[in-house]
Every structure is written in C-alpha cells, then in structure tokens.
Amino acid sequence: MSLNAESTAFRSALEVIRAVEPRVADAIEAELADQRESLKLIASENYASPATLLAMGNWFSDKYAEGTVGRRFYAGCQNVDTVEALAAEHARELFGAAHAYVQPHSGIDANLVAFWAILADRIESPALKKAQVRQVNDLTEADWFALRRELGNQRMLGMSLDAGGHLTHGFRPNISGKMFDQRSYGTDPATGLIDYDKVAEAAREFQPLILVAGYSAYPRKVNFRIMREIADSVGATFMVDMAHFAGLVAGKVFTGDFDPVPHAHIVTTTTHKSLRGPRGGMVLCGPELADQVDRGCPMVLGGPLPHVMAAKAVALAEARRPDFPDYAQRIVGNAQALAEGLLRRGAKLVTGGTDNHLVLIDVSGYGLTGRQAEQALLDSGIVTNRNAVPQDPNGAWYTSGIRIGTPALTTRGLGTAEMDATAELIHTVLSQTNPGGSKAKYVLDPALADKVSKQASELLTKFPLYPAVDLG
C-alpha cells in the first residue's frame, strides 16, 4: 500500500532529523501523540493544517528580508516577495482591509508595531512640521526631548486584565505598561458585560491617545462601532487586538458592528489562534497608517521570518475557502453547547454564557480556585487554563476561573453532542474535587481522574487528529 503525501512528508522529515539528533525527532513524534490524546480546551490554541506546517520547514528560513515587498535591504528576495505579497493579499481580501503587514513574529510584536505606528503618526503630523523634518528618524535629540514632554499624553485606555484584557494593553509586566500611562475599563459587576457608557465616561476623563478593544478572556461580542464613536469623541486612535477571535471575523461570524476591521484605525492579531495558521502576528490598517506600520521591521521587529510568511499565505488561503465560515460557525455553536451543558449541570459562568469561542467558568461555584481546578482537570486528561474572573478575589496567580475554548476541538471535528459530554466530564471532575488546605492543593480521587481520562480519550477516538498523518 502506498502512503499518502502527508504521511510520506512527515515520515521523511523525521528520518532526516533523526539522523542528526534523534532526541528532537522523538520529541516531535511524542508531541503529536500527546496532542492526539488530549482533550484540548485551551482557548488560544488550534491545529494548523499539514500544508501550513510543511510550508514552514524549508529554506525560506535562511533568508534575510528586512524591508518590504520590492524594497528590501538585501539582494535576492524575489521569492520572499512572492510569499509576503501573497500573504498580504489574502489577508486584505479575507478581512476587507486596505493594508496588511504580515511580518510580525507574534501577537505581542504586532501590538508593538501598532503602538509605534500610532505614536510616530501623531509625532510626525504637527510636531514634525514644526521641527521641519521629514520623518521620525530625522529628529534630533533635542526634538525628542521636547516631544517626549508633549507625549505626556501617552495615554492608553484598554480593557482591564481581570475583565479579560491582555497584558500588552498597558499592563505593568509588559513594555506597554511602561510606554503608556494606562487606565482600564472593566465590565458591569451585575451582567459581566462591557458597559459602553462607562467606557465613554473613562475616555472623557482620561483623554487617551489610544483606545484599545480586544481580549483574551471575554466570552462576548464587542460592539466596535460604539467603541469607535467613543474614540472619535475624544480624538483617540481606535485599535482592536483581535488575536483571539480573528477566525470568527474571517469566518463572518462577527459582522457589521462586531467586525473590527471597518471600525478600527488599526487592527492587530495573531495568526495561530482561531485563525488556525502558523504561530505569528499581523497588522491591518487603512492607508493613513500603512507607511508607519510597514516600518515595523527594523523599528521594533527583528528580521522577518519568510518561512512563516509562506505558511501565513497558505493558512490565509485556507481561511478564504468556502468551508471556513462553516468552521467558524461550528466553533461558536460548540462553545454555546459547552456553556449550556455546564449551566444545566449547575456551573457558574462569567456573563452566564458565550457568543464567541470561549467560556469562562467561575469555579468558586465549586469551592475551588482556578489553580486547583486547572490541575484537577489536567489529572483527568482535560487541558484548560486558569484565568482571573472580574474582581477576582484570588488574584492573577491562583485565580477563580477556568477558561475553555473550542477552536481546537472543532478543528478535530467534535460537535455539540461531544460538547455536552465534555461538559459532563468537566462538571464531574470539578464537583468531585475538594480544596486541600492551600490555594494550590486539592483532593481528587485518582480512580475518578483515571476514569474521566479514559472517557475523554474515548470521546476523541472518533475524531482523529491529523487523520492523514501516519508516522508508522
């Protein structure tokens, strides 16, 4: 029997690697086995296609390609130009954006590019005219000194961490928390939803330079039209970080007021979460910010990764296929089935449900911390991550929440019936786990953990991961 192309490709690759450092080949094989066996509910992870994975493993990795398509600082970039231009074209078409910059190496890098582009754009307009220089790079040290003082208005208004915002939206452990004076908007304590009047009030008081929307752990839609109106009312630049939900935008689940692209001045994203591409980032914007965004490398980024841009082009081409909207709809359908299954069994959910790809369980309802719940679930073969809930009494380390998401399991083909079964497994583990004397310790009968592990694997057997890949 002859092997299919995918099996041949991965088997051959492993053979070549094994000849040099067998332990790396073994680890790659072991990783596939682990991923195949685990019920992965990490909301930020997915499974990229074999074509996307294979596009990364080649000699494009050897190229230096600083600059932009057709304007490189190195010779011999014609093939890099081809894949970068393709990735950008697919991104523009998929999201309806005027400009796409596909060089960022990650979501955090994409945000750095955006921050710099916004700052540079602001600096260059009136201040540079005053200094009679052409661009930021021409500023003297004295100009910079004066500008920094002016940029006392370097203020960012973003979603608070415990309401689901991201570290890069102006929080201390990230450079954005040092570059910007930050203030956050949270969610309404009664409903768990963003209160747009409160956001508008905070914007009026704080007069931010940048209003950021986007999240890692908010289980609801955001109305970007209203957010843009708020930004406009105070002259702020409106930035949306759609790292988590880019796949739902690409798949036309989020349209109209809920599609960030027509409303934001600038949109950043990862490419590896719900969008299901290679690990990486991307920036979308209108013509006004395009030149500044394109200076991302070398302004804040290291040299572009041409092999990853090739994989972005492949994944974005996949996301433009007619079946991608169906995938995106199923992600949300599955998240809602999971939420309903949990609610029916008595779980407490932040906002009482979901309209995107993620569900946030408030595990204080089970008398547990997020840390205890995360470990108990992991012992039972269910991979999740702990996450703060709004006004979390246990802080950002122990937390009181468990974040679960459906992009990965939906890629495997699991549907709403399996989500109900998953809800049953999660509820069984959490209701049978007892706190164990510290915020990290817990008591769970190993026989129960074992039984749930087996049930979780059984759930997966009908939905093989990378079904066409047989490593032999």
For the segment 110-149, give every residue that binds ligand PLP (CB under 6 A). none
- Compare residues 50 and 260 and give the one whose CB is closer to ligand PLP: 260
Closest of 44, 53, 49 to residue 408, by C-alpha: 44
Q: Measured from the CB of residue 341, what is the shortest distance to ligand PLP in angstroms?
A: 25
Residue nearest to ligand PLP (CB): 107
Give least dist CB 216 to ligand PLP, A. 4
Q: Does 37 participate in catalysis according to the annotation?
A: no
Bridge partners for 401 per DSSP: 362, 387
Regarding 44 and contact with ligand PLP (CB under 6 A), the answer is yes
Q: Which segment (83-91, 229-237, 239-247, 311-319) binds ligand PLP by CB under 6 A? A: 239-247
Question: Using CB under 6 A, which of 90, 155, 166, 439 touches ligand PLP?
Answer: 166
Binding of ligand PLP by 216 (CB under 6 A):
yes
Our CB check for ligand PLP shows the closer of 168 and 411 to be 168
Establish whether 348 is a catalytic residue. no
Buried b (16+ CB within 10 A) or exposed e, 319-348: beeeebeebbebbbbbbbbbbbbbeeeebb
**What Å distances lie between residue 173 and 191, 269, 323, CA to CA?**
29, 20, 39
CB of 272 to ligand PLP, least distance (A): 7
d(CA 265, CA 260): 9
Residue 247 lies near ligand PLP (rule: CB under 6 A): no
Of the candidates 63, 279, 348, 451, the residue annotated as catalytic is 279
- Asked if 276 interacts with ligand PLP (CB under 6 A), we say no
**Which among 55-63, 210-218, 304-312, 386-394 is the span making contact with ligand PLP, rule CB under 6 A?**
210-218
**66 carries an active-site annotation:** yes
Q: How far is the CB of 325 from ligand PLP (least distance, A)?
A: 22
* Catalytic choice (68, 270, 351, 433): 270
241 noted as active-site residue? yes
Q: How far is the CB of 130 from ligand PLP (least distance, A)?
A: 35
378 alpha carbon, distance to own chain's centre? 22
In the list 120, 212, 243, 382, the residue contacting ligand PLP (rule: CB under 6 A) is: 243
Nearer to ligand PLP (CB atom), residue 179 or residue 421: 179
Q: Which of 56, 80, 108, 128 binds ligand PLP (CB under 6 A)?
A: 108
Q: Does 184 bind ligand PLP (CB under 6 A)?
A: no
Check if 40 is active-site. Answer: no
> Shortest distance, CB of residue 285 to ligand PLP, whole angstroms?
16
Q: Is 270 in the site for ligand PLP (CB under 6 A)?
A: yes
168 binds ligand PLP (CB under 6 A): yes
**Is 244 one of the binding residues for ligand PLP (CB under 6 A)?**
yes
Among 67, 170, 192, 214, binds ligand PLP (CB under 6 A): 214
Backbone angles phi, psi at 266, to 5 degrees: -150, 140
8 A C-beta contact, residue 382 and residue 41: yes
Largest pairwise CA distance in the chain: 74
Residue 442 among the catalytic residues: no
Of the candidates 45, 66, 81, 229, the residue annotated as catalytic is 66
Selected from 107, 219, 278, 407, the binder of ligand PLP by CB under 6 A is: 107
| C-alpha separations of 380 from 200, 334, 429 in Å | 44, 21, 7
101-109, 307-315, 408-416, 463-471 -> range binding ligand PLP (CB under 6 A): 101-109
Which residue in 241, 259, 294, 374 is the catalytic one?
241
Among 79, 87, 81, smallest CA distance to 68 is for 81
Q: Which of residues 355-384 bind ligand PLP (CB under 6 A)?
A: none
Q: Which is nearer to ligand PLP, 157 or 347 (CB)?
A: 157
User: Which residue, among 121, 117, 74, has the nearest Cα to 304 in the 3D structure?
Assistant: 74
Tell me: does residue 202 bind ligand PLP (CB under 6 A): no
241 in contact with ligand PLP (CB under 6 A): yes
Residues 213 and 188: beta-carbon distance below 8 Å: no
- What is the C-alpha separation between 403 and 363, in angstroms, rounded? 10
Residues that bind ligand PLP (CB under 6 A): 44, 106-108, 166, 168, 214-216, 241, 243-244, 270, 281
Q: Give the residue numbers marked as catalytic.
A: 64, 66, 241, 270, 273, 279
